[in-house]
Amino acid sequence: MENQTEQVTELTLVGLTDNPRLQALLFILFLLIYFIVLVGNLGMVVLIRSSAQLQSPMYFFLSNLSLLDACYSSVVAPKTLKNLLMGKKTISVTGCASQLYFFIALGTTVCFLLAAMPLLYSSIMSHRVCMLLLVTGSYLMGLTNGVGQTISMSTLSFCSSSTINLFFCDIAPLISLSSSDTTLSHIILTTAASLFGVSSILVILLSYVAIITTILSINSAKGKRKAFSTCTSHLTTVSIFYGACFFMYLNPSSDSSRGADKWAVVLYTMVTPMLNPLIYSLRNKEVKEALRRLLKIK
Q: How confident is the model at residue 174 (pLDDT cuts 50, 70, 90)?
A: confident
Q: Would the pLDDT of 289 be above 60? A: yes
Q: How confident is the model at residue 52 (pLDDT cuts 50, 70, 90)?
A: confident
Region 60-64 average pLDDT: 87
> DSSP alpha helices (H): ranges in the chain?
2-7, 20-50, 57-86, 93-116, 127-129, 136-154, 171-177, 183-192, 199-216, 221-250, 258-266, 272-282, 285-295
What is the value of pTM for the model shown?
A: 0.84
> Residue 2 has what pLDDT?
47
DSSP 117: G
CATH class for domain 2-295? Answer: mainly alpha
- Encode 167-206: b = buried (16+ Cβ within 10 Å), e = exposed: bbbbbbbbbebbeeebeebeebbeebeeebbeebbebbee
Region 225-234 average pLDDT: 72
Domain limits of the chain?
A: 2-295
> Residue 283 has what pLDDT?
67
> Residue 252 has what pLDDT?
47
Task: Write the CB contacts of 95 (distance below 8 Å, at least 6 apart in sequence).
Answer: 169
For residues 94 and 8, the answer to whether their CB atoms sit within 8 Å is no
Q: Would the pLDDT of 114 be above 60? A: yes
What are the backbone angles phi and psi of residue 249, rounded to the nearest 5°? -100, -20
Among candidates 151, 283, 267, which has minimal Cα distance to 226?
283
Highest mean pLDDT among 25-29, 171-175, 276-280: 25-29
